[in-house]
Structure 1
Amino acid sequence: MRFVLGSASPARLGVLRAAGIDPSVVVSGVDEDAVAATLTDPSPAELVTALAAAKAEAVTREVLATHGDAVVVGCDSMLSIGGAMVGKPGSPEVARERWAAMAGRTGELLTGHAVVRLTDGRRDGLATGSHATTVRFAEPSPDELDAYLATGEPLGVAGAFTLDGFGGWFVEGIDGDPSSVIGISLPLTRKLLAEVGVSVIDLWR
């Protein structure tokens, strides 16, 4: 059985490989804003779970013909800070604004996951869920923040920070699952795999 990761995130891929799984990667290409626009006043957990499910479904349509027995995993992460849900900043200016709001405060990193099981080339199960982890941010100096933004790292990650890269210098602690903050929650993924009848140990390489 193949494990198909519906994400281009190198951090998610790294977490899985370090945990014994060598997934196939198929990028979903889902328009996240369009998916979010179809939802009526979703909670943060509902939003990230719906986005993860949309990605898993898009990838499932791609791999049905080539992966007879597989699990497809879609993920989405956003940061809740000051009552606002934020994703990837995309530009240094937006990332700087995010850090102005985050520095010295706490935020909640929400990750939604969706697992689709394929058996003999057909859909055979779906499980979805989310996980929230509290992140305690440090206060980088102006020079530190300039240098961090110059790395480019915060521009393409949810909340404009990482735990496992340059951003780790500016995270004072977390309350929850560290793998979820990096991008894919191993405990939640294990639980969702079990819900569709797959044991994670059978996927270890």
Structure 2
Amino acid sequence: MHGSATVGWLLTALCAFVACVCLLRARGAGGMRRRTATSEALMGLGMAAMALPGSASAVLPPLVLLVLFGVVAVRELALLLEARRAPLSSGPGHGRAEHVHHLHHLVGALAMIYMALAMPGTHGAAPGNHTAAAASGLPLLTGALLIYYAVYVLRTGALLLPAPAGGALAAGAPGDACAARERPELATACRVAMGTGMLAMLLML
């Protein structure tokens, strides 16, 4: 990634922290929430690796990142197809939520593959040769991803706003005692942080 080393280290720290939080969420969750939290942890770890600045990124060359995110993309595609085959396994709302989450993670994995392809050294250029490695991606695709993640961050971040008293009671409707114990606002905050990290990485592309 281009950009200052300070920004790179901050992004790495943020993504690594979010990944650790998601791993803890996965450990204390079950079913759909466990799979979703695991997917978010994998994405966070991958984003932390890609955000490593300068010489530190030489530890994980672009081709390694391509393989890593390729595996994540295949996993998310498999989970997405599984969610589509059994949408009512945990109730209609849960099935649709799982489908949306895995679709979002699949888009994220493909976006990371795209950014890894645009990184210096992916096409055989020397790491310091920014002229040969100046293929910073396709402006149209980069712009589309920026819009997608900007909308995602704004829409997901809105869920963190305090709800009216009546809305809070409605949200805690049937069978959400387990969801309350799992701190849904923590999961939302993790998604906002990861979406913001993706925006920053795309801007640094």
Relative to the length of structure 1, the TM-score reads 0.30
**Whose helix fraction is larger, Structure 1's or Structure 2's?**
2
Greater C-alpha Rg:
2
Relative to the length of structure 2, the TM-score reads 0.30
**Whose strand fraction is larger, Structure 1's or Structure 2's?**
1
